[in-house]
Structure 1
Amino acid sequence: MPTNTFFRLPEERRERLVNEAIIEFSERSYTEASLSQIARRASIPKGSVYQYFEDKLDLYRWLLTEEAPRRKREFIGAAPREEDFWARLETFIERGMAFLVEHPRLARLSASAAAPTAVVEVRGLYKAICDAGLAELRAVLAEGAASGDLKTSDLDVATRFVSTLIGPGLTDVILQELGAELHEVLASDNLRKRLNSRRRRALAQQTVLFIRDGLGAEGKRK
């Protein structure tokens, strides 16, 4: 975790360091990434980095499990809040796709953590990311269960069901449409532009219809 010294940095300097770290770790594997390169691009002495983070793993772990999820939450939460639960879920799904389009480096950073690695310390980080994502989705679905829109006797099972549908399932649909692999989409502005707001909304609507058919309470399905 960052030290208090890091949080006392001027905002502009702190943001520059974080953004350069995101670039470095999104472009290179954890093993290949360099604190020296991050420090050079952030225009700070390498020794200063150790005043803010214990080591490279400490910085990488914080980016993956704290900073990237925080930025994604803020991005998704910036959308107007719908009154209807199903409309909120549709927006949640659409904004998740929009994050991939508008913040490819952060998406690439998270995706890279899923790659097989010989570095023992890094292996558990992807699970931590997934667990955090499940917790956020569970909170969204809990609202539907509380309002009576979502019918489920086990919210944890429902969360994993929906997570699979809007995670690997929806990603596979997108990649099939674009005719590309995920790393190609994250590296190509032209490919991401094809996943425009109209298409994202259509995909989100279709996904919500599948969820409603399986989990929607009787009388509240369209």
Structure 2
Amino acid sequence: MPTSTFFRLPDERRDRLVNEAIIEFSERSYTEASLSQIASRASIPKGSVYQYFEDKLDLYRWLLTEEAPRRKREFIGAAPREGDFWARLETFIERGMAFLVEHPRLARLSASAAAPTAVVEVRGLYKAICEAGIEELRAVLEEGTRDGALDAPDLDIATRFVSTVIGPGLTDVILHELGAELHEVLASDSLRKRLNLKRRRALAHQAILFIRNGLGSERKTR
């Protein structure tokens, strides 16, 4: 994790280092990524990086498990939380797709962690990312349970069900529509532009209809 020295850096210098690290790790595999390249592009001595992070793995782990999820939470959380639970969940889903469109490097960084690797230290990071995302979704679904919009006796199962629908399931639908692989979408502005606001809203609405059929409270849908 970052040292206290890192957090005492001027904002501009800290942001430059983080952004260059995101570029490096999103464009290259963990093995190929270089601290020297990150330091060079951030205009700082390579030795300074070791004042902020223990090593390359420390920086990579922090980006994946802390910084990228934080930025995504802020991006999704910036959307107005209006309407009933289902409307709020629909917005949550749409903003998740919008994050892929507007922050492809961060999405590419997270996706790269899912690739098979021989580096033992890196294994398990993607699972940690997924589990963190599931916990955030669980908190959202807890709102629906409290509101009476959900009938979910086992919230853990419900959360993983919904996570599958709006994660791998929705991703598969998007890739099928675009006729491309995920890495191609994340690398192509023209492909991502096809996933515009109107289409994202339509897909999010379809996802909500699917989820409501599985989890919707009977007293709310009759």
TM bracket (short chain): over 0.9
Q: TM-score, normalised by structure 2?
A: 0.99
Which residue in the other structure is 1:80 paired with? 80
User: For residue 28 of structure 1, what is the aligned residue in structure 2?
Assistant: 28
Aligned to 1:136: 136
Q: 1-side partners of 2:128 and 2:65: how far apart?
A: 7
Measured after TM superposition, the shift of residue 124 of structure 1 is 1.0
Distance 2:187 2:215 in 1: 36
Which residue of 1 is the match for residue 147 of structure 2? 147
Mapped partners of 1:215, 1:82: distance in 2: 21
**What is the distance in 2 between the residues matched to 1:220 and 1:209?**
13
Percent identity reads 86
1-structure distance, mates of 2:165, 2:137 = 12
Question: Are residues 1:173 and 2:173 paired?
Answer: yes
4+ long deviations beyond 4 Å = none
Aligned residues: 222
Once superposed, what is the RMSD of the aligned Cα atoms? 0.7
**Take 1:70 and 1:84, find their aligned partners in 2: how far apart are those partners?**
25
1:64 alignment counterpart: 64
Work out the CA distance in 2 between the residues paired with 1:219 and 1:51.
Answer: 58
Whether 1:19 and 2:45 are equivalent positions in the alignment is: no
Residue 26 of structure 2 aligns to which amino acid in structure 1? S
In the TM superposition, what are the counterparts of 1:99-118 in structure 2 within 5 Å? 99-118=99-118
Work out the CA distance in 2 between the residues paired with 1:200 and 1:220: 25
Structure 1: state its 5+ residue gaps.
Answer: none
Q: Letter of the aligned partner of 1:199 in structure 2? A: R
Deviation at 1:218, TM superposition (A): 1.1
- TM-score normalized by structure 1? 0.99
**Alignment correspondent of 2:5:** 5
Quote how far apart the aligned CAs of 1:82 are.
1.5
Q: Which runs of 5+ in 2 are unaligned?
A: none
Amino acid paired to 1:214: G
* C-alpha displacement of 1:83: 3.5
AA aligned opposite 1:93: I
